[in-house]
Amino acid sequence: MTPHESWGRYPKSQAARILELAWASDVPDLNRLPHPVLPYGKGRSYGDCCLNDGGILLDASGLDRFILFDPETGLLRCEAGVTLKTILELILPANWFLPVTPGTQFVTVGGAIANDVHGKNHHRAGSFGCHLERFELLRSDRGRVLCSREGNRDLFEATIGGLGLTGLILWAEFQLKRISGPLIDCEKLRFETLEEFFELSATSDKDYEYTVAWLDCMSTGNKRNRGIFLRGNHSVTSGQNSTRRRTAPTLPGFYTPGSLINRPTVRAFNWLYLHSQLHQSTDSTIHFEKFFYPLDRIAGWNRFYGKRGFLQYQFLVPYERREGVTEILDLIAMSREVCSLTVLKVFGTTQSPGLLSFPRPGVTLALDFPFRGESTLILCEQFDQVVQKHGGAVYPAKDARMSSKSFETYFPRWREFSNFVDPCFESDFWRRVATPRPLSQ
Ligand SMILES: Cc1cc2nc3c(=O)[nH]c(=O)nc-3n(C[C@H](O)[C@H](O)[C@H](O)COP(=O)(O)OP(=O)(O)OC[C@H]3O[C@@H](n4cnc5c(N)ncnc54)[C@H](O)[C@@H]3O)c2cc1C
């Protein structure tokens, strides 16, 4: 059995009980359970929004059945524990694709809704919640509630990006995207400065459905902030024969006690990555898994960070305040922390229906750091000051440490949201950012 922890493995948290659900009817009367409860998908959230220390986790990954798939219209209805990987196995042969996908396919539909996940096509398609038609929610106070834009719209909007706090999603229905086959025509372009990145992004977003960049922020001098810009479109060649089924190599079932991620290993990796890209053809047609899910190729890669785990800090600042990105990169350069992964993307203007959703117009940067204690936390607090100065926000799905004051600044509608929180539901994240409980208590 996989442990019920978060992907970053920080903070440590121990649920008092795990209820593994196989059928919706397995859920006991939520009012009779002794502890606060929280749904759990596949634990691919980096921080503590999927954790419930001392409480009960409702493991929804066993709710994994398809209910409806119309290959003519691309409408899909499935239980909330179905993973994006399983969906792709069903829909790809019929030439359909996910409307939005994050950088891993090992997430559940329930988790994708609760964090209102985004992908490389945010500038075109918005977030996952933009494509939802309806879902059914199980609440302790109202039982089963059907939510859509037409009915129970307020609960529909609160649940999208609602961090699992508005009830247990039992199933969801959403619209897929028509494609010709599993291949992606993609191009990689090297840039030397952030200005070049912004130029590339502005010119590419019109013609490319998917754009994202990797940044080498551990180099020094004028090499700092160089990177690789990746852009792509679904290929019109069908490529149906290129079924690429390679099982991801898995790390042995133990954790490295110390972190393998340190300044020399990250610098060496970045150098190798940057130079290996130069020797590859910049134009290629590749399998979608290679394009969307490069990290899924090493199962359990989070264990490289050792027992203490790691933090991801993903923030966004409005485009016209993009100097905030440079300021944060400057803070990293001045610190002794090791930034092992840096992913940069310009979001579009499509607004999510989600009341508490993170995605909004602007520039987003995701940064990974091995957790080294106080010094890592202090650096993140310095980042918070920059993000707040520029009117930005930090992504709760990746967060394990933001203060309640920061949360209120990033999500000004949080009080309105708190009215929709199920009275029996709580998470480690929610206890941290919304204590003392507002309004109703
Ligand atoms: C390698 C990697 C790459 C990633 N890339 C991206 C990215 O590009 N974009 C992005 O947005 N995110 C990204 N993520 C984060 C990930 O997509 C989200 O954290 C996602 O929500 C995880 O889904 P999960 O099924 O594992 O849910 P969990 O992490 O287990 O839970 C997430 C939240 O969903 C709630 N939840 C789960 N199931 C239900 C349910 N049935 N009903 C109600 N609430 C529920 C939980 O309570 C929790 O609050 C990435 C993560 C990894 C590990």
| Residue 129 alpha carbon to ligand 1 centre in Å | 13
Residue type for position 190: R
pLDDT on residue 439:
46
Q: Classify 281 as helix, strand or coil.
A: coil
Ligand 1 atom 48 nearest Cα = 50
Is 119's C-beta closer than 6 angstroms to any atom of ligand 1? Answer: yes
Is 138's C-beta closer than 6 angstroms to any atom of ligand 1? Answer: no
Is 44's C-beta closer than 6 angstroms to any atom of ligand 1? Answer: yes
User: pLDDT tens digit string along 405-419?
Assistant: 999 999 999 999 999
Best of 20, 45, 106 for a ligand 1 pocket test (most atoms within 8 Å of beta carbon): 45
Is 159's C-beta closer than 6 angstroms to any atom of ligand 1? Answer: no
User: Which of 177, 180, 155, 181 lies closest to 168 in space, CA to CA?
Assistant: 155
User: pLDDT tens digit string along 292-332?
Assistant: 999 999 999 999 999 999 999 999 999 999 999 999 999 99
Is 166's C-beta closer than 6 angstroms to any atom of ligand 1? Answer: no
**Atom in ligand 1 nearest the alpha carbon of residue 137:** 42
| Residue 191 alpha carbon to ligand 1 centre in Å | 31
**Atom in ligand 1 nearest the alpha carbon of residue 128:** 11
| Residue 282 alpha carbon to ligand 1 centre in Å | 32
Torsion angle defined by CA atoms of residues 313, 316, 322 and 323, in that order, rounded to the nearest 10 degrees: -30
pLDDT on residue 396:
98
Instruction: Read off φ and ψ for residue 347, nearest 5 degrees.
Output: -80, 155
Q: Classify 220 as helix, strand or coil.
A: coil
Is 169's C-beta closer than 6 angstroms to any atom of ligand 1? Answer: yes
pLDDT on residue 34:
87
pLDDT on residue 237:
86
Asked if 209 contacts 258 with a C-beta cutoff of 8 angstroms, the reply is no
pLDDT on residue 238:
75
Ligand 1 atom 11 nearest Cα = 117
Q: 């499509």: which residue's tokens?
A: 350
Q: Classify 142 as helix, strand or coil.
A: coil
User: pLDDT tens digit string along 68-96?
Assistant: 999 999 999 999 999 999 999 999 999 99
Alpha helices (runs of H) in 186-317, residue ranges in sequence order: 194-207, 263-279, 288-292
Is 394's C-beta closer than 6 angstroms to any atom of ligand 1? Answer: no
Is 117's C-beta closer than 6 angstroms to any atom of ligand 1? Answer: yes
- In eight-state DSSP terms, residue 172 is E
Along the 441 residues of the chain, how does pLDDT read in single tens digits? 568 999 999 999 999 999 999 999 999 999 999 879 999 999 999 999 999 999 999 999 999 999 999 999 999 999 999 999 999 999 999 999 999 999 999 999 999 999 999 999 999 999 999 999 999 999 999 999 999 999 999 999 999 999 999 999 999 999 999 999 999 999 999 999 999 999 999 999 999 999 999 999 887 777 788 999 999 999 998 776 554 555 566 555 555 667 777 777 777 777 667 666 655 557 899 999 999 999 999 999 999 999 999 999 999 999 999 999 999 999 999 999 999 999 999 999 999 999 999 999 999 999 999 999 999 999 999 999 999 999 999 999 999 999 999 999 999 999 999 999 999 999 999 999 997 554 443
| Residue 215 alpha carbon to ligand 1 centre in Å | 24
- Across the strands, what pairs with 39? 58
| Tokens of residue 403, six digits | 């203060």
Instruction: Read off φ and ψ for residue 432, nearest 5 degrees.
Output: -75, -45
Domain boundaries, the chain: 183-401
Ligand 1 atom 51 nearest Cα = 44
Asked if 182 contacts 239 with a C-beta cutoff of 8 angstroms, the reply is yes
Is 168's C-beta closer than 6 angstroms to any atom of ligand 1? Answer: yes
| Residue 397 alpha carbon to ligand 1 centre in Å | 7
pLDDT on residue 244:
53
Q: Which CATH number among 3.40.50.720, 2.40.30.10, 3.30.230.70, 3.30.70.2520 corresponds to the domain 183-401?
A: 3.30.70.2520
Is 78's C-beta closer than 6 angstroms to any atom of ligand 1? Answer: no
